[in-house]
Amino acid sequence: MAQRVIRINELANTPAKMATPAEPATATKAAKKAKPAVLAKQGKLKVSRATVWRWVREGRLPAPFKLGKNVTVWDEDLIDQFLVAQAVEGV
């Protein structure tokens, strides 16, 4: 049986890339900085990429492995086990 793997884009939420509309010169600094949080895709873990990497660093999430120089993946079965364990702890 082949090992199933999952990449960070499928694990974590992916923010949408939004074009910044032109703002009126009278807009406040806070209004200019405020941008709506829009997700392009919701990941399996429903957290940000930064959270995924923090959980790996803390040992909460199984460590990924490299398939190539620029390809990092997680064992999908281990991720599924992690999700089951989280559901049991939450009950």
- Containing structural domain, residue 2: 1-15+39-91
Question: pLDDT value at position 72?
Answer: 95
Question: pLDDT value at position 87?
Answer: 84
Question: pLDDT value at position 75?
Answer: 96
Task: Locate all alpha helices (DSSP H) within the chain, ordered by sequence.
Answer: 8-11, 29-33, 49-58, 76-90
Does the residue 59 lie in any domain? yes
Q: What is the mean pLDDT of each run of 10 residues along the chain (91 residues)?
A: 89 74 59 62 89 95 94 95 86 54
CA angle 86, 71, 1 (to 5 degrees): 65
Number of domains forming the structure of the chain: 1
Question: pLDDT value at position 4?
Answer: 92
Does the residue 26 lie in any domain? no
Tell if the pTM clears 0.85, that is, is over it: no
